[in-house]
Chains A and B, each alone.
Chain A
Amino acid sequence: MPIEVKNLCYSYKKGTPFEKKVLHDISLTVNDGEFLGLIGPTQAGKTTLAQHFNALLLPQSGKVLIGNCDTCLKDANLIALRQKVGYIFQNPDYQLFAPTVGEDVAFGPKNQGLSGNEVEERVIEAMTQVGLDFDTFKNRDIFALSGGQKRRAAVAGVLACRPQILILDDITAGLDPRGRDEILEVVKGLHQQSMITIIFISNSMETVARLADRLVVMDQGRIVMDGSTRDIFTRSDHLQEIGLEIPDIMHIAKQLREKGFNLPPALLNIEEAAESITECLANRQVSD
């Protein structure tokens, strides 16, 4: 189920003296099954754009087509759309409210009108997908969860609706490295096993470098770059101009290149870098 955005514009507080235009003429297509990284400096418009993908916001001009459904149409079934496109917020506290984890995860499927058995099935499935053992956590108080566990519970709550597309809005912010790795493992697993389309909003270049196939870079309400992860990272100067940092490993690779090492233009992670450097050194020894 692809998402098409055509000439989308959006302003906050429209009609008041505090009106601020946040999206300027955005056009974009999200393809089925891809892992899309939506990156950009703060206030670039990433969240605003992403909230159009599940009709939490409606375009003020332009069009957003989810599947083939135009969100602006009067009879568009927005509730059905929101079941197909899941949105996970940065702060799980905005979402968790039920007394126990099990009940909270069941909230989504219940809203979909499913029978008791189906709801339980979905809850077990979702909690397993995020790594929260059903029997252990089913009756646990949501206030007794750690930060990382809360986040996983929130993800489970959305997964229980079985969405075809999943939007993750900066979900690693504020997590310690272990919590971050845990949640990213879940996300990676989801993409590989269930082939869900994933739209990943983040400021962390390391993370998107590792996981995303395609990157869309936004700055001040416009899309400035759109391409495969590798292509985007070769343009590190442009990224830095916008105010984005490239992963540390790329800094090192850049310096090595300046010193004469013939490394490929975009190395996305430490493993690739290690391989390339080893190869380079081997070649040097050979030529010497």
Chain B
Amino acid sequence: MSGEQAGERLMELTKNITLGVYMPGETAIHRLDPRTKLISACLLIVLLLIIKSYQAYALFFIFIAAIILVSQIPIGYALRGLKPMLPVLVLMWFFQLFLYSSPDANILFSWWIFTATDAGAHMGNLISMRVLLLFVVTTTLTLTTTMVDLTDGMDSLLKPLGRIGLPSHELVMTMIIALRFVLILAEELDKIVKAQMARGVAFDQGNFIQKTKKLFPVFLPLFINAFKRAEELIVAMEARSYAGSRGRTKMKTLHMGRVDFYAACVILFFTAMTILFILQFPPMIR
């Protein structure tokens, strides 16, 4: 990466964070009850983990692309969050290529002590597609649902668990705050990086070990500030009489509408199609 590109990447760290960002809109997807979206997302993720054929993945791709189109989120933006992950994914793919094998695999080529098999390639593809689609499903969810709605939705869905003693509300609150803090800490990181750059640290130069050492003056202030923010958040919540889920009511209650019914039909149809595909087409890996 040229010095210029690295510099540009350092200058606005938050530009590529899409998880936890809400993009306002009035599309059908935006208007769905958050519970519908949450259940659908979970269903999609389960399906993602059981399909194993290229054909089924193609179907999945088409479906998720359709959802993104309906929600009017620019596809380029939805995929932006993947940029930081790309190197890891490529590495993972090569790992599978060389290290995964099954009894009926065919050897593609050999290099030194490594043997590449077609089964390895397929496994690499499988894992990559799963990770990518997992990310896209989750991001689409957070891009089309506000934090408040997500919290309410999760709260409502997990309430039955609350009755058997699980601290569901507290779990939901923890998850939501963590999600929100991804963006907040990215912004803090941005400022800290700039502050240390202003004192002469060149983050984009040096070998791997040198670059890692340079992260210390960045991560220490980041952690300290994160703890400080956490303390401030606690005080702010308590000052507004927050006391967990005890006696907590809502001003805006959730209700399902006609859109949700249609969405449920669409998802069920898609699930049926997927099961059909699973039965019809052989998996790429045994």
Contacts and interface: CB of A to CB of B under 8 A. Distances in A.
Nearest to B223: A97
Interface string B79-99: 010000000000000000000
Interface stretch (B34-42, B213-221, B265-273, B277-285): B213-221
Given A91-B191, A94-B191, A97-B217, A17 B23 contact: yes
Contact of B200 (A16, A18, A112): A112
B225 A17 contact: no
B197 interface: yes
B77 interface: yes
Given A79-B200, A86-B198, A58 B191 contact: no
A74 interface: yes
A83 B8 contact: no
Nearest to B197: A56
Contacts of B197: 56, 82
Contact of B195 (A83, A94, A98, A161): A94
A97 B216 contact: yes
A95 interface: yes
B4 A74 contact: yes
Main secondary structure of the interface of B (DSSP, over half): helix
Interface string B176-190: 000000000000100
Contacts of A58: 7-8, 11
Q: Is the interface of A mostly helix, strand, loop or mixed?
A: loop
Interface residues on A, range: 20 to 34
Contacts of A12: 12
A13 interface: yes
Nearest to A78: B7
B199 A17 contact: no
In this complex, the member of B80, B192, B198, B201 whose beta carbon has the largest number of chain A beta carbons within 10 angstroms is B198
Contacts of B198: 54, 56, 82, 86-87, 89, 158
Interface in B4-57: 4, 7-8, 11-12, 14-15, 21, 23
B202 interface: yes
Given A58-B7, A97-B216, A83 B200 contact: yes
A4 B89 CA distance: 44
Given A12-B12, A16-B77, A94-B195, A108 B220 contact: no
B224 A93 contact: yes
B54 to A, nearest CB: 32
Interface of B: 2-4, 7-8, 11-12, 14-15, 21, 23, 74, 77, 80, 188, 191-192, 194-202, 216-217, 220-221, 224-225, 228
**Closest 9 pairs between A and B when the two form their complex, measured CB to CB:** A111-B200, A87-B198, A95-B195, A94-B195, A97-B220, A108-B199, A97-B217, A94-B192, A56-B194
Interface of A: 12-18, 51, 54, 56-58, 74, 78-79, 82-83, 86-87, 89, 91, 93-98, 107-108, 111-112, 157-158, 161
